[in-house]
Amino acid sequence: MFESPADELIRVVDQSAPELRAIDGARAGSKPKPDVWSVKEILGHLIDSASNNHQRFVRAQLSAELTIPDYEQNRWVSSQDYQSRPWGELIDLWVHYNHHLAHVIRRIPDAAAGVPCRLGKNEPITLTALVQHYLGHVRHHLEQIEQRLAS
């Protein structure tokens, strides 16, 4: 059941990695406005998302239902100061973390697919829906990076 989303995650990450590596580090760190994330910070947010979803995917398999706080994305990005990190290292971390997540997703047992997951105050969704949401989230922010660089 989870082979297809895992394969899709690998495909999206592996297709995006060379495109991200082609971006100059200074350009990746350029902020269009002080209160708008740079490309580095967007990728940092995707690293945070991988980290948070890693916890969710594993914990949901270990319980009948999962309730976990949502995360404060702006504070996470700010506290980790992705702006000061080398661009290539951010890309490597994001690629490797998502390859591991694909492995984790492949190992989710079918019996856990319907586990209800409540993130913060949101309505619960199944673990299957959570995995699909993660893929959509990754695609959304990769498109955001592409649009940022095109402008």
Q: Maximum Cα–Cα distance for the chain, whole Å?
A: 46
Cα angle value 20/22/27 (rounded, 5°):
80
pLDDT at 1: 66
Domain architecture of the chain: domains with CATH: 3-150 (1.20.120.450)
- List per-residue pLDDT tens for the chain, 151 residues long: 667 999 999 999 999 999 999 999 999 999 989 999 999 999 999 999 999 999 999 999 999 999 999 889 999 999 999 999 999 999 999 999 999 999 999 999 999 999 999 999 999 999 999 999 999 999 999 999 999 988 7
CA distance 6 to 131: 9
Beta-ladder partners of 66 = 117
* E strand intervals along 41-131: 66-68, 116-119, 125-126
Other Cβ atoms within 10 Å of 147 Cβ, number:
9
Contacts of 129 (CB under 8 A, 6+ apart): none
pTM for this entry = 0.95
